[in-house]
């Protein structure tokens, strides 16, 4: 079993990220502060909606969707 180590001080977020990428944080558990937080997960409710567009607008919507490699529905719902 590895003895717990103290976390170093970081001068930047990049230093912290690099440290996390190259170290096992399990070795530093004793030096991490205990935190508590609440999470409120709520299910999203989607209501189907049908919208009719003029033909020119529909063609433009499909053109933009193709350029963005997505669907017209995702563009309209965004």
Domains in the chain: boundaries: 1-37, 42-78
Helix H or strand E encompassing 13: helix 13-22
pTM greater than 0.85 (yes/no): no
For 7, the token pair is: 């976390």
46 vs 34, more confident? 34
What is the Cα–Cα distance from 39 to 77, expressed in whole angstroms?
26
pLDDT on residue 3 = 67
Is residue 19 classed exposed, middle or buried when 0-12, 13-18 and 19+ CB atoms within 10 A define those classes? Answer: middle
Say if residue 1's pLDDT is above 60. Answer: no
State the pLDDT confidence band at 2, using cuts at 50, 70 and 90.
low
């Amino acid at each position: 079993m590895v003895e717990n180590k103290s976390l170093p001080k970081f001068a930047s977020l990049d230093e912290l990220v690099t440290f996390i990428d190259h170290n096992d944080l399990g070795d530093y558990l004793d030096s991490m502060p205990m935190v508590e937080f609440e999470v409120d997960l709520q299910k999203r409710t989607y209501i189907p909606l049908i919208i009719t567009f003029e033909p020119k607008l529909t063609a433009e919507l499909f053109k933009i969707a193709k350029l963005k490699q997505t669907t017209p529905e995702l563009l309209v719902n965004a």
